[in-house]
Structures are given as C-alpha cells and as structure tokens.
Structure 1
Amino acid sequence: MTAAPPIPNGGWAASTGSAAPAAPRSRVRRAWAMVGSIALVVLSSLLVIVAGTTHLVAGSTPSTTLQVLVAIGILSMLAVSVLLIWRHRFSTLVYVLATGLTMIVPTTPLPALLALAALTAVRRGRMRWALVAASSAATVVACFWDLTAYSSFLAVFVGAPAEGTPARLALFWVVPFLAALLVAPFAAFGFSRQLRVERDSARWGNTTAARNIAALHQEVSMERERQEIAREIHDTLAARLSSVSLHAGALELQVGDSDARATAAAQAVRESAQHSLDDLRNLVRVLRNPALNSGTTTGLVDIGALVDAALREGTDVRAQMFVGDPSSCDHEVAHACYRIVQEAISNVRRHAPGASLFVDLRGGPETGLTLRTVNWLVPDARPTSTGGGNGIPGMSERAALMGGSFEAGETAEGTFAVVVWLPWHRR
C-alpha cells in the first residue's frame, strides 16, 4: 500500500447548498442588463439623430452657426449615448456630460434623464434634489430647442403649428410642466432603486444577525455540554484512575524485591494510570475553557519513547522513522501523529494479541508526514478487551482535522494496514 495523496482544499469537501445556482443566475441577470443597456443606447442614439435633424429638414433655413452646433450636438450626444452602458459605474461623469451637452446643444434630454435615474440611486439628501432640478432645467432647454425648430417634435402632438405662429409660441408656457412630467418617472425610478437597495441591505443585515444569534445559541449549548462532560469525567474517571494508581503503588511497595516481574508490572500500571490521569486533567481543563491551548506535549520526538514503553509492556513493535527536522513541525500535527501510533499499538494489543506491529514514519517539511502501520492478522484471536469501536474512526477524524488523508483495512497478504498522510505545518 502507498500513502494516499493529500485531500484537496485542506481535506474538507466543498460545501454545496442552495447557493450553488447563484453564479448562473447572476450571469443571466448581467446578460439581460447588458441587453437592456444596449437597447437604451440604440433608442437614445435614434432620438439624438431625430432631435438634431429637426433643425435641418427641408424648408428650414438654419444659419451656419446653428448647423455647426447641431452637428456638434449630434456627434457629442451619440458618444454620450454609448457611455450610457457604464452609467451605473461612472454615474457622475455620464450625468455631467449628458446634462451639460443638453443645456448647450439642440438634442434630446433622454441621455440626461437616464443618467439621472442612475445617479439618484446612489446619491442622498439635498444632492438628489439638486440633480433633479438640474435635469429639469436641461429638459426645459431641450424642449425650447425643439419648439424653435422648423419641424418640432413636440408640436406634432398638438396639430403641428408652424414655426413662429401664436399656437407654436403658446407651447413655450407648457414646457416647464412638460419637463416636470418627463423628469418625474426617471427620478422616481432612481429613488425606488435606492429604496430597494436599502431594503435588501436591511434584510441581509437581519439574516446575518439571525444567523449570528443562532450561532451564539449553539455555542452556549455546546458550552453547557462541555461543562457537563467535564464534570462527569472529573467525578468518575479521574477518581477511578487515581484509585488505580494508588493501588498499583501499594502493590509495588508490598511486592518489593521478592518478585521483579510483578514489581515491574505494578510500576507500569502505576505510571500508565498517572499519565492517563494527567491527560484526563488536561482534557477537562480544555473542555472547561476551549480558548486555552490544549497544552499537548507529545509529538514526533516522543514516538520513540512510546515504542520503547510498548516493548517493555510486552508488545512487539518494530519502528523505523526518517523525519527531517521534527522539531519544526506544528505541535498539533505532531500530536495527532503520536496519537495515531498510540492507537495503532492499542488496537494490536486488543485485537491481535501476540502479533508484531511494524511502524514506518517518514517525511519532512517538503513532503508532509507519511505514517504506515502493519500487523499480521491473528486467526481466531480473542480480543483482550472490549472497545467502543472508536479507534479507526478516531484516527480518521484526527487525520481529517489536520487536513490529511487516511486509509485502513485488511490487505491481500493477510495483514491489517493503516496509512496516514498529514500535511507539514510549520510550528
């Protein structure tokens, strides 16, 4: 068996939920917005050409100055009409150009009104009303230019009175009201757009607040559970381990030098109980205050001592380790590797008593850590103790938490192998 490659994305699967279709919907929305902007550019360009040519139709006698002004107006407003595509990104620039040209040259007020709708959506307070007033003035000027043309676009709607007639001149009094009617829908659209943005922002804020509240409730619930677990562990296991350590020490003193093997066994039991009690106290301390560091002291350099202890206790463990610069490895990764080796030794003792365990650990800062443990399967072996079935899942969870990979199972050679890869994080 060979070590499995690192799991992408740090060992965590990417979350796929209801937010997955958001990107396609966003692209479709942007595509439709672009189509709408192009349609507005085309409409605005056509109106610019129509508004300019009303001064140059057959039967009119425009001066050379007016002809030049109309030509400049058509070309300039055509350029501004193209800029309407970016009216939301450069709203101020497009508005200033469109409104300024509308007040100077004979043209249509549509580009200025479209720019007004985009700019009022992002402006607030008195500035918005100043923009509305400026657009109204530009619209009035545009209407005046139209009524002075030989073929007036506005005059067509009231019977097309001829240029200079009292009926045509009377229309000038209606221009301010007409300008107000033209500006109002565009200003209202900008205002409503801003209101929608504020509403969506408020909804997003409420959703975020609700999510944070739910997270806080969950954290409080988890904290209560941690405190309860800490109390139960301290009141039960800690007391029992202390009793085991006390009795083992008494047995060691009572046997003395009369039986060396019994004395060594009692000493091993006492030391193991004391170490377990220290680990348990550290676990209780972390459960009661998760913000504290776990205080783990075991790491890569302690695996040798772990193997020696297993040999003294009668478990045949044969290890080879080739690790470059083990002191630079992050203590959490090193501790996870230590615990996985410890669990592999415990599994051999429990499920394959008498079998040899081969441990191969190698790696470094460039390649990460690759751990491989192999033991022969013992036919009809009786477990020395009953476990909770959490050994293999616990090793797998430790590897996943570190962003590594894990494999375990029987092989064709009649062995049970565990292969773990852990990333190398600098201390």
Structure 2
Amino acid sequence: MSTMSPGAEPISRPLPVPDGGWARLRPLRRVTRFGAMVLLCLSGSVLALGTALTKWTEDSSTGELNAIQNILILAAMVGSVVAVVALRRRHTSPYAVTLVTASLPLVLPLDATAALFALAALLRSHSGRRVWACVAAVGLATTVALLRDASGATTDSSMLKSMTSSHSPGQAVPVDLSLGVPLIVATVLLVASVAAGLLMRNRAALVATQGRAAAAQRSSNVLSDRLGRQAERDLIAREVHDVIGHRLSLLSLHAGGLQVAAGEDQRLSHSAALIRESAQQAMDDLQSLLRVLREPEATAFNRTAMPSLSDLPVVIDETVDGGMPVISTIYLSEANDADPALARAVYRIVQELLTNARRHAPGAPVRLLVQGGPTEGIRIETANRLTTAHPGPEGNGLTGISERVALWNGTMRHGLDGEETFRVAVHLPWAAAQGADRMEMQL
C-alpha cells in the first residue's frame, strides 16, 4: 500500500493459517466491515452538515444561507464522498489517505470519522515517526470538528450539546458547554482509534508468529523424519558391512588359497581366480551401496560408478565364465543417448534375469535378447528350459524386476510355455539423457 521511507517500518503480513469454515466467510466479513464503516462515515457527515446548516441559519439575520455557505455545503457533500472513496483505495498510500481525510474537517463542515478509521488502518500496518505525525494531524482535525460543533448556540446546532442536554429532542434550547468537553471527547476518540490500530497490528503479528511457528514445526518434523531414516540407513550399513563384508573377505581369502593350491590344474585355478575376482567385485559393489546408504544426497547424482548399456557384455561374460552358456543378441540404437537411470535399470534387469536362470536352471543354456531405441523403447527377453520338474516357489528376483519395471511405467510378462521353457519379456519406455533424474532417485 505504501513505499518504504526513513522512520517507517511496515508490519509484515500474517502468514495464512488454516481456520476451517471461517476462510469461506472471510470475503463476506470484509464486505460487511467496510459497509459498516461507510455507513458510519456518511452518517457522521450528514449529522455534521445538519448541525452546520442549523448554526448558519441561526446566525443569519435573514434565516438564509449566503453564497459562500452554499459553496461550503456543496464542497462538504463532495468531500464526504471523497473520504469514503479514499478509504477504499487499497493501492493508495495509507499516509495520503489519512492526511486527506484529516484535512477535510479543517476546511469543511465535516466530522473526523473517516480520518479516525484511516488512522486505525495506518497504525495496523505501519510504525515510525510519520505515523505519529499523522496521529497529531488526525487529533487536530478531530478537535477542530468538535469545537466547531460545540460553537452552536442551541441543541439543534450542536450535536455535543444535544447529547449532553437534558431537554427533549426537537427543542432548540440554548446550552452553555464547557471548552473541556470537546477536548475530552476528541482525546477519547483519538485514543480509541490508536488503540484499535495497535490491537489489529498485534493481532496480525500474533497470526504471523503462529504461521512461522507452524512452518518451523513442519520443518522440524521433516528434519526428524530425515534423521530417523538416516539413522536406520546407518544401522543397516553397519550390519551389512560387518556381516556381508566379513563373509566376502573370507570368500576372497579362501579363493586365493585355492588358486595357489591348484598348482598346474588350470581349470581349478581359473575357477578359483574367477571366484576371487567376483568376490572382490562384490566387495566394491558393497562399498558403493554403503556410500549410498550413508550419504544418499551426496551420491544420488554420482554417475561415475553407474553401469551403462555398454556394460551389458560384461555381465554376460561373467555368467558364461560361471559355467552357464548364454546365447545373447544385443542391438540398441543411440545407446549413448539413453538416460543413465534407464541404462542402470536395463543392466540390473538383465543381471537379475541371468541370476534367476542360473539359480533355477543351473547348466541350462539361456537365450537373451536386448533390443530397442528411442522410437520403440527397450525390449528384454530371456528363455531357458527348466532342468527340474519342480523349480520351486517364485523368489524375490522377479518381484524386484517387476517393481523396477513399474517405476518406469513399463510392462512385464513371465511364465512357462508349452515346451516347459520359462520365458520373461520386459518392455521399458525410452528416456533421453536429461529426462529421468526423478526416476533415478527412485531407482
């Protein structure tokens, strides 16, 4: 409503606080308050004009108004409308509104009701020396208006005298009124206006404080949740490091001993070396997982260790070195433009599919197809014959794959065909390199 200036400190607006059904009634309450304020201002103006007309008529020898008095009455009518309009102007400086409404009673036969309302609105949102200067101006306008009213000789030409007189209404009775009465009334009205403005300011500050406290409480709750989750991650990381890390280190140690003891047995030495290399790689993957658990935000966008589509031959070679024959067909167009999160999903799905085949059908050949591009997406298919009549219940491998596929809004089908061949078909939509940071966080 106003610009900043030296000595003035605007009061911040209160933050919105949920108040249930009262929020829907707020516009109606605002209109009702403004309507009541306009009614009081216009009523005060009408009463002030009426007493002024009566006073001028009593003072006139002919009982008629002169030209200057007629002009003042017309100007006062216009001024009362201007005062009401000024109170409604939200984008006008509250200082200007207060000074305009305070200057009208000084030059026209009007009361200071509009100025008192404007002063209360000013005090509600501003503070400083300029505000107290406006308080003095409104106090002067109120005093002048009341002294002018008290100068009427009878109860008909003075509203103060009619209110303090014991005579019946309608009787034009001369009354002597002490000079202190209008001064006391002006002081009471000014103090009431200032008190109302300060009360509204304190209420707005209280609401703002409550809003900040609610926001701080929400932030505290979010921080507590994050700290709780991080504590759980740290506990899991410690358990994984102590248990699995210890087992993998023992596996690597025994594989090294087996490789040394193999001597000239090349097949046994190669198997031991492969076990040792796999254990070491598992240790590296475990360390990467522990970093993600301990520092999720710092490692969320660290893509240096993230597998890419070009790493698919590596996981196939590891499966073949483990003794499972794999017949693979990989054809991907614009693979370097794929989002790293999509590449990671494809890599993990292929890895899990080959692991499931090795677990449930050891030694049986596996047919693998990875094909796609930006237009058709990526299609992953595996097929392997079961080596046992009862492969056992479904484990967590396919469940994890289905969850990963669901995160990408893809599709997955799996099951046995008529030739007792277990088939899995996965389709993932294509994502460009800049499009899936959110999905990467989920994966």
| Distance across 2 between alignment mates of 1:257 and 1:395 | 45
| Distance across 2 between alignment mates of 1:161 and 1:99 | 31
- Once the two structures are TM-superposed, the CA of residue 120 in structure 1 deviates from its matched residue by 0.9
CA 1:120/1:307 → structure 2, altered by over 3 Å: closer, same or farther?
Answer: same
Indicate yes or no: 2:140 matched with 1:137. yes
Alignment of 1:261-272 (within 5 A): 265-272=271-278
Alignment check: 8 A CA contact 1:360 1:373 kept = yes
Show CA shifts across 1:67-88 (max 9, x none).
Answer: 2233223213313312323459
Show CA shifts across 1:115-153 (max 9, x none).
Answer: 111111123366555443332221112223434567444
| Distance across 1 between alignment mates of 2:258 and 2:279 | 14
**Counterpart for residue 45 of structure 2:** 48
- Once the two structures are TM-superposed, the CA of residue 242 in structure 1 deviates from its matched residue by 2.3
| Distance across 2 between alignment mates of 1:337 and 1:326 | 14
- Once the two structures are TM-superposed, the CA of residue 66 in structure 1 deviates from its matched residue by 3.0
**Counterpart for residue 287 of structure 2:** 281
CA 1:306/1:361 → structure 2, altered by over 3 Å: closer, same or farther?
Answer: farther
| Distance across 2 between alignment mates of 1:53 and 1:393 | 86
CA 1:92/1:152 → structure 2, altered by over 3 Å: closer, same or farther?
Answer: same
Match of 1:96 among 87, 95, 99: 99
| Distance across 1 between alignment mates of 2:330 and 2:402 | 23
Indicate yes or no: 2:202 matched with 1:195. yes
Alignment of 1:36-185 (within 5 A): 36-56=33-53, 59=57, 61-86=64-89, 90-124=93-127, 128-148=131-151, 151-157=157-163, 158=165, 159=167, 167=175, 170=177, 172-185=179-192
Alignment of 1:387-406 (within 5 A): 387=396, 391-392=400-401, 395=404, 399=407, 404-406=408-410
Structure 1 stretches of 5 or more lacking a match? 1-18
The alignment partner of 1:358 has SS state of: strand
CA 1:291/1:139 → structure 2, altered by over 3 Å: closer, same or farther?
Answer: same
The alignment partner of 2:111 has SS state of: coil
Alignment check: 8 A CA contact 2:312 2:347 kept = no
Moved more, 188-197 or 171-180: 171-180
Show CA shifts across 1:158-210 (max 9, x none).
Answer: 346988x862x526531111122223333222111111122223333333444
CA 1:421/1:374 → structure 2, altered by over 3 Å: closer, same or farther?
Answer: same
CA 1:195/1:21 → structure 2, altered by over 3 Å: closer, same or farther?
Answer: closer
CA 1:76/1:284 → structure 2, altered by over 3 Å: closer, same or farther?
Answer: same
| Distance across 1 between alignment mates of 2:277 and 2:382 | 26
The alignment partner of 2:110 has SS state of: coil
Q: Which amino acid aligns with 2:232?
A: E
The alignment partner of 1:121 has SS state of: helix
Match of 1:320 among 317, 331, 355: 331
CA 1:135/1:407 → structure 2, altered by over 3 Å: closer, same or farther?
Answer: farther
Q: Which amino acid aligns with 1:108?
A: D
The alignment partner of 2:380 has SS state of: strand
- Once the two structures are TM-superposed, the CA of residue 343 in structure 1 deviates from its matched residue by 3.5
CA 1:146/1:237 → structure 2, altered by over 3 Å: closer, same or farther?
Answer: same
RMSD: 4.2
Moved more, 150-159 or 115-124: 150-159
**Counterpart for residue 359 of structure 1:** 370
| Distance across 1 between alignment mates of 2:83 and 2:123 | 18
**Counterpart for residue 30 of structure 1:** 27
| Distance across 1 between alignment mates of 2:350 and 2:151 | 94
Alignment check: 8 A CA contact 1:91 1:118 kept = yes
CA 1:319/1:25 → structure 2, altered by over 3 Å: closer, same or farther?
Answer: farther
Alignment check: 8 A CA contact 1:48 1:78 kept = no
| Distance across 1 between alignment mates of 2:23 and 2:405 | 39
Larger Rg: 2
Alignment check: 8 A CA contact 2:40 2:113 kept = no
- Once the two structures are TM-superposed, the CA of residue 372 in structure 1 deviates from its matched residue by 3.9
Q: Which amino acid aligns with 1:309?
A: D
The alignment partner of 2:299 has SS state of: coil
CA 1:205/1:21 → structure 2, altered by over 3 Å: closer, same or farther?
Answer: closer
Report the count of equivalent residues.
395
Alignment check: 8 A CA contact 2:337 2:432 kept = no
CA 1:333/1:146 → structure 2, altered by over 3 Å: closer, same or farther?
Answer: farther
Show CA shifts across 1:224-264 (max 9, x none).
Answer: 4333322222221112122323334454565577565x665
Indicate yes or no: 2:227 matched with 1:230. no
Moved more, 63-72 or 49-58: 49-58
| Distance across 2 between alignment mates of 1:193 and 1:292 | 47
| Distance across 2 between alignment mates of 1:244 and 1:62 | 116
Alignment check: 8 A CA contact 2:291 2:299 kept = no
TM-score (norm 1): 0.73
Q: Which amino acid aligns with 1:283?
A: L
Alignment of 1:303-342 (within 5 A): 303-306=311-314, 308-309=316-317, 312=320, 313-323=324-334, 325-326=336-337, 329=339, 331=340, 334-342=343-351
- Once the two structures are TM-superposed, the CA of residue 351 in structure 1 deviates from its matched residue by 6.0
| Distance across 2 between alignment mates of 1:95 and 1:317 | 85
Q: Which amino acid aligns with 1:280?
A: L
CA 1:92/1:332 → structure 2, altered by over 3 Å: closer, same or farther?
Answer: farther
**Counterpart for residue 298 of structure 1:** 306
The alignment partner of 2:52 has SS state of: coil
CA 1:278/1:135 → structure 2, altered by over 3 Å: closer, same or farther?
Answer: same
Give the number of the structure with larger relative contact order, counting CA–CA contacts within 8 Å between residues 6 or more apart.
1
| Distance across 2 between alignment mates of 1:71 and 1:52 | 10
CA 1:80/1:336 → structure 2, altered by over 3 Å: closer, same or farther?
Answer: farther
